[in-house]
DNA sequence: CACTTGATGGTATGTTTGTACCACGAAAAA
DNA sequence: TTTTTCGTGGTACAAACATACCATCAAGTG
């Protein structure tokens, strides 16, 4: 074997270029040439590492879904550690305390609201893929089915835990509330992407609603 | 003037063909040819009535936004008239009674959840346009800003009315609740489009949450 | 009856796209 | 050292696209 080229690294580099161009010009405007230019390689190279455009798009989607998982897991891991804003709520006073269910739920939901430019482009491309997957059979729905279902499960579990700890009204239906939270989070994130709302406003609404859910039983 | 051709009717016909092809193959796959074929006219005709493709897409968007307004208004007008499901809630017993605020809110929110095929294609194309408008400067955000803002206003008003009538907890923040309901409705509708949930499940969640909002003050 | 003008069809054109093909260098294997 | 094979570049090509151009027919107008 001659030249030694780290395939995984090269593929990642090209896929990142794809995601960058998709973020700036839209996923529909992504072409082999634009990706090659953005990646600083020849079109032939893109062909070499991803035979066809469809495979390239698919690889990018896979990477996107994986990154979504990482992002959420990161948020869960560092939940409750950062001093988030000024709204006074009665849990997790110490910075190093174990995150409460509410902290975890809030962290997961806030991921859907893009604040910085990176989050914005990430969620934009992710949403473009999701919508495209409805009409394009090649982009089968796996990433858009497994991921949310898993998160819904997580939220329902945390809600149930909060209920048993007395931090949430036990009369709530944890599963329905979880679905509701997922939908609200997605909807708010989308509205921010569309410019209907600022990220701050979306976060405020989300926190307001969490205050309604995580309240001592009447 | 020679042949007498109703421009508005022809334009509507072509735009409908656009929307149909966009629904089945995706908005990105819409071409002058596919629209012409679907409409049963020559490409030249499409060019004649909409000079450029961009204008055609814009006209379709305008029509889509208008139809969205009609759909919501229709729902509001006939709110409370149909016997909706079996969930027992304590308002609007008679079929011809004036719709309660809850009926109106529910009607508006349910519009975002596609049930039949027509609603599905409608909301799919609408969503494709919305996402496209983020990266395509030609599709300025007007329709996606004015419409939702107006609906948010309506919901906030109805919520306030329900609060004054004693049908909702006066401690709720009507505006934040309205934003929340809009986001949840959009998120649920999107999840149905993506196949994450059935329309029935989404409606159940929405009704469940409305039951939480429209409840006599504690 | 001429004639203008709106509505329509067909076709050409230049560009962009995805992909296939050919070539070359360099490193490991023989 | 020869030879294979991986990585890379350039280019060619057929298809599709949006759009411009040319031609034609019919219906009102003078």
| Alpha-carbon distance A196 to nearest alpha carbon in chain B (angstroms) | 6
Q: CA of B99: how far to CAs of B96, B107, B119, B158, B165, in Å?
A: 8, 10, 23, 11, 13
Q: In the predicted model, is pLDDT for residue A97 greater than 90?
A: no
B201 touches A200 (CB < 8 A): no
Percent of chain B with pLDDT over 70: 91
DSSP letter assigned to residue B140: -
Q: What is the pLDDT of residues B34-59, one digit of tens each?
A: 999 999 999 999 999 999 999 999 99
Cα(A7)–Cα(A20) distance, integer angstroms: 20
The average pLDDT across A18-42 equals 97
User: Which amino acid residue lies closest to nucleotide D11, measuring CA to C1'?
Assistant: A44
Tell me what the mean pLDDT of segment A143-165 comes to. Answer: 96
The structure tokens listed for A147 are 């991921």
Q: Which chain A residues are Cβ-neighbours of B208 within 8 angstroms?
A: 173, 176, 180
Maximum alpha-carbon separation in chain B = 72
Residue A196's CB: how many other CB atoms inside 10 A? Answer: 23
Give the one of A173, A196, A208 whose C-beta lies nearest to B208's C-beta: A173
Write down the pLDDT at residue A85: 43
Of A77 and B3, the structure prediction assigns the larger pLDDT to A77
Whether the Cβ atoms of residue B127 and residue A131 lie closer than 8 Å to each other: yes
Take residue A113 and report the two structure tokens written for it.
Answer: 């609201």
**Average pLDDT rounded to a whole number, residues B102-109:** 97
- Of all residues in chain B, the one with the smallest CA distance to A210 is B180
At B142 the pLDDT is: 81
- Tell me whether B173 touches chain A (CB under 8 Å): yes
State the pLDDT at residue B92.
44
**SS3 of residue A99 by DSSP:** coil
Cβ atoms within 10 Å, residue B200: 12
Whole-number average pLDDT of chain A:
92
Q: What would the mean pLDDT of A48-67 be, rounded to a whole number?
A: 97
Q: Among A4-8, A146-150, B50-54, B69-73, where is mean pLDDT lowest?
A: A4-8
Q: What is the pLDDT at residue A143?
A: 85
- According to the model, what pLDDT value does residue A39 have? 98
Q: Which nucleotide is nearest to A55 (CA to C1')?
A: C18
For residue B90, pLDDT over 50 is answered with: no
The rounded distance, in Å, linking the Cα atoms of B126 and B22 is 10
Determine what percent of chain A is predicted with pLDDT higher than 70: 91
**Mean pLDDT computed over A184-206:** 98
pLDDT at B120 over 80: yes
**Nearest-neighbour CA in chain B from A95: distance (Å):** 29
| DSSP code for B4 | -
Three-state DSSP state, A77: helix
Residue A40 has pLDDT above 60, yes or no: yes
Helix, strand, coil content of chain A in percent (nearest 5): 70, 0, 30
Residue A64: count other Cβ atoms within 10 Å of its Cβ: 20
The rounded distance, in Å, linking the Cα atoms of A45 and B50 is 40
Q: What is the pLDDT of residue A6?
A: 86
Q: Does B97 score more than 80 pLDDT?
A: no
pTM here?
0.92
pLDDT digits (tens, 9 = 90+) for A99-121: 999 999 999 999 999 999 999 99
Q: Does A172 score more than 50 pLDDT? A: yes
Task: Indicate the helix (H) or strand (E) that contains A94.
Answer: none
What mean pLDDT do residues A13-35 have? 97
pLDDT of residue B82: 64
| D4 closest protein residue (CA to C1') | A1
Lowest-pLDDT range of B45-59, B78-92, B182-196: B78-92
In this prediction, residue B6 carries a pLDDT of: 86
Considering only residues 2 to 21 of chain B, which have any Cβ-Cβ distance to chain A shorter than 8 Å?
none
Could you tell me if B53 lies within 8 Å of chain A, comparing CB atoms?
A: no
Q: Report residue A87's pLDDT band, with 50, 70 and 90 as the boundaries.
A: very low
């Amino acid at each position: 074997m001659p030249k030694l080229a780290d395939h995984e690294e090269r593929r990642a580099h090209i896929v990142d270029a794809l995601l960058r161009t998709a973020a700036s010009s839209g996923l529909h405007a992504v072409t082999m040439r634009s990706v090659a230019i953005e990646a600083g390689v020849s079109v032939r190279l893109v062909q070499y590492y991803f035979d066809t455009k469809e495979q390239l798009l698919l690889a990018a989607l896979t990477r996107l879904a994986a990154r979504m998982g990482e992002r959420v897991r990161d948020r869960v891991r560092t939940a409750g550690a950062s001093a988030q804003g000024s709204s006074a709520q009665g849990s997790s006073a110490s910075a190093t305390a174990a995150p409460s269910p509410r902290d975890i739920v809030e962290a997961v939901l806030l991921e859907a609201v893009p604040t910085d430019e990176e989050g914005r482009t990430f969620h934009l491309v992710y949403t473009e893929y999701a919508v495209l997957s409805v009409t394009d059979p090649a982009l089968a729905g796996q990433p858009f089915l497994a991921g949310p279902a898993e998160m819904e499960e997580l939220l329902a579990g945390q809600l149930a835990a909060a209920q048993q700890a007395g931090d949430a009204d036990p009369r709530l239906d944890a599963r329905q509330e979880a679905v509701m939270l997922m939908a609200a989070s997605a909807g708010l994130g989308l509205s921010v992407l569309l410019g209907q709302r600022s990220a701050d406003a979306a976060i405020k609404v989300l926190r307001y609603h969490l205050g309604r859910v995580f309240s001592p039983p009447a």
